[in-house]
Amino acid sequence: LVQNSLWAGAILGLLGGLVGTFVMKRDLAFAVHGISELSFAGAAFALLIGADIVFGSLIGSVAAALLLGLMGVRARDKNSIIGVIMPFGLGLGILFLSL
């Protein structure tokens, strides 16, 4: 069990370093935080309806990425869109958890 955890940590550390370079180069660090907020909302909704939480989290992440991609094309400042989406996702997740 400990050996598997060490392998998983090493692989995630390597992948995080590789992906993090591209995230910082394209100035998307704030977008990653916004996607995680909507991922939480998707997981909370999946928990509410009795579905798989990981699947709900993935659906929330993909929906957030599509939303940011579509709205970011038209907007002058992507960070303002992300700043609106983040509290929306967090509030939605808390709402789903409280139901």
Query: What is the domain partition of the chain in residue ranges?
Result: 27-98
Quick check: 78 pLDDT over 80?
Answer: no
Quick check: 50 pLDDT over 90?
Answer: yes
Mean pLDDT in residue range 47-66: 94
Cα distance between residue 42 and residue 63, in whole Å: 9
Q: What is the pLDDT of residue 74?
A: 64
What token pair was written down for 48? 């509410």
pLDDT digits (tens, 9 = 90+) for 59-68: 999 999 898 8
| Alpha helix ranges (H) inside 1-99 | 2-25, 29-49, 53-74, 78-98
Quick check: 76 pLDDT over 70?
Answer: no
Report pTM.
0.77
